[in-house]
Amino acid sequence: MTIRREMLVWFSLVAQLGIIMSVSIYIGYRAGFWLDQVTGTRMWFPIGGTLVGVVSGFYSLYRLMAKVMERENITGRHDE
């Protein structure tokens, strides 16, 4: 694999990580905000939703990185 292609692969991975994390947090916050409006509470559900979004984002990142590491081990690529 050429260096340029490898850099693009890693750049796309970093972009995926950022998108996954930000979308997970946003969805958790918006769901909490909606629940807050339905129940009439003040800022408890958005805080909880944000925390759920953070946990969900980290879990998704973990799964993505595990898949990437498994793929690199299977193909035998090692960057040294």
Residue 40 in tokens: 């009439």
Give the per-residue pLDDT at 3.
81
Higher pLDDT, residue 28 or 73 = 28
Residues 11-68 pLDDT 10s? 998 999 999 999 999 999 999 999 999 998 888 999 999 999 999 999 999 999 998 8
Burial environment of residue 12 by CB neighbours within 10 A (0 to 12, 13 to 18, 19 or more)? exposed
How many angstroms separate the Cα of 76 from the Cα of each of 16, 28, 50, 51?
A: 23, 38, 39, 37
